[in-house]
Amino acid sequence: MVRGVYIHIPFCHQICNYCDFNKFYFHNQPVDEYIESLGKEMALWQDDLAKAKIETIFLGGGTPTALSLEQLERLLTLIHQYIPLEHVKEFSSEANPDELTLEKMQLMRKFGVNRLSMGVQTFNQDLLKILGRTHSNNHVYDVIQYAKQTEFPSISIDLMYGLPNQTMEQWKESLQEAFRLKIPHISAYSLLVEPKTIFYNLLSKGKLSLPGEDLEAEMYGYLMDEMKRNGYKQYEISNFSYEGKASEHNLLYWNNDEYIGLGAGAHGYVNSIRYSNHGPLKKYMQQLEIGEKPVMMQKEVTYEEKMEEEMFLGLRKNQGVSLSNFEKRYGKSLYEAYGNEIEELLKKELIEIKNDYVFLTNRGRFVGNEVFQYFLK
Ligand code: SF4
């Protein structure tokens, strides 16, 4: 059953040097028309939305906070018009610290948004410039103040390590600043240089200096130790939170549950079909103009593929994959499906089985991708 909705707002006021998401520079884009197209797309999903039990909504991008106050209000009004909200536990929005005003946050609260996910990345001003980000630490402090004023129940920040020229000292300072601010949820990612990004171009010309593997491993080790020491629980490879503050929407993905994806370039998973929408704005909006869903590609997920996904998504969680739930979903036990793989991974001490769960060991978490390969047939 569909349990969540993802809505993509593909506009940004600045383009970060590492970004490979589907996004467009805000200036001169048909933003108002795009929001109306989203309304049309929601209307086309009415039957599925009526049958669904929507528990999480996630506004992502791009940056939803790039929208003006009026545009944001129109978007939130459409969401209230088309998406059944009675079961929604978590309504998140991604945000850039320099775009959040008190008025935007008041508006979000009025429409039920209860979680902000902020792209902070680092508290070091020089590194922010290298990343191509325009906010300053003062913007982050302002948002935290506004969040108190508007009684936002939860805030998350993204932090990155393994950045160009980043020292261990700078990484320590950024993490310690997040702890000092008592941010309830932190996602910490190492930088991946993706093709078609500015960083990729610089790297291929030998103009980007990245920390070596040893330093990155040291940064990761420090992250793990300090999160624990500061009262955070790791619940996924890159995600840490205070008790009860884990992201329900992201857990939906790792639990291999279904969700509707709306917007240009968005992905969804409905009735065992994974699909992705057209990315270019013009194509996305044209399809909706003629009353058709803007789906570019769709594929039915086979029984075998579902089991594979269950394993490599579920093992990302610290809790791991429930043996009883696996059997209930697939009509066979985990041992029947993956006996040899489980045996080998247990021998290598990359996974562990306790009570009803199979999960990665610390060593397994460090080489997660290697473990996931075992379940891809
Ligand atoms: S704000 Fe986010 S989506 Fe926009 S360019 Fe930067 S990383 Fe990409």
Half-sphere exposure of 344 (CA within 13 A, CB side): 10
CB distance 250 to 6 below 8 Å: no
Q: Residues 119, 32, 278, 16: what is their CA dihedral angle, to the nearest 10 degrees? A: -30
DSSP state of 374: T
- Residue 156's identity, in one-letter code, is S
Give the pLDDT confidence of 58-88 residue by residue, as tens digits: 999 999 999 999 999 999 999 999 999 999 9
Averaged pLDDT, 224-238: 96
Decide yes or no: CATH 3.40.800.20 for domain 2-253: no
Averaged confidence pLDDT in the chain = 96
Averaged pLDDT, 229-253: 97
CA distance 159 to 140: 13
Output the residue whose Cα is nearest ligand 1's atom 2: 62
CA distance 200 to 242: 35
Instruction: Enter the tokens of residue 56.
Output: 């999480």
Instruction: Enter the tokens of residue 184.
Output: 């309830």
CA distance 97 to 318: 29
CA distance 69 to 63: 13
Which residues have a Cβ under 8 Å from the Cβ of 4 and sit 6 or more positions away? Answer: 54, 55, 56, 57, 58, 249, 252, 257, 258, 259, 260
CB distance 123 to 133 below 8 Å: no
In a mutational test of the pocket of ligand 1, which residue from 26, 63, 121, 193 has the highest number of ligand atoms less than 8 Å from its CB?
63
CA distance 269 to 260: 6
Ligand 1 surroundings by CB, under 6 angstroms? 12, 15-16, 19, 21, 23, 61-63, 96, 119
Stretch(es) of the chain classified as CATH 3.80.30.20: 2-253
Does 276 have pLDDT greater than 90? yes
Give the pLDDT confidence of 85-121 residue by residue, as tens digits: 999 999 999 999 999 999 999 999 999 999 999 999 9
Decide yes or no: CATH 3.40.50.720 for domain 304-373: no
Q: Say how many Å lie between the CA of residue 63 and the centre of ligand 1.
A: 7
CB distance 211 to 219 below 8 Å: yes
Buried b (16+ CB within 10 A) or exposed e, 134-172: bbebebbebbbebbeebebebbbbbbbbbbbebeeebbe
Q: What is the percentage of the chain residues whose pLDDT exceeds 90?
A: 97
Output the residue whose Cα is nearest ligand 1's atom 5: 15
CB distance 215 to 168 below 8 Å: yes
CA distance 308 to 28: 43
Averaged pLDDT, 328-343: 96
CA distance 333 to 102: 52
Does 367 have pLDDT greater than 90? no
Stretch(es) of the chain classified as CATH 1.10.10.920: 304-373
Does 377 have pLDDT greater than 90? no
Residue 366: its pLDDT value, please? 80
In a mutational test of the pocket of ligand 1, which residue from 20, 21, 122 has the highest number of ligand atoms less than 8 Å from its CB?
21
Confidence at 173, pLDDT banded by 50, 70, 90: very high
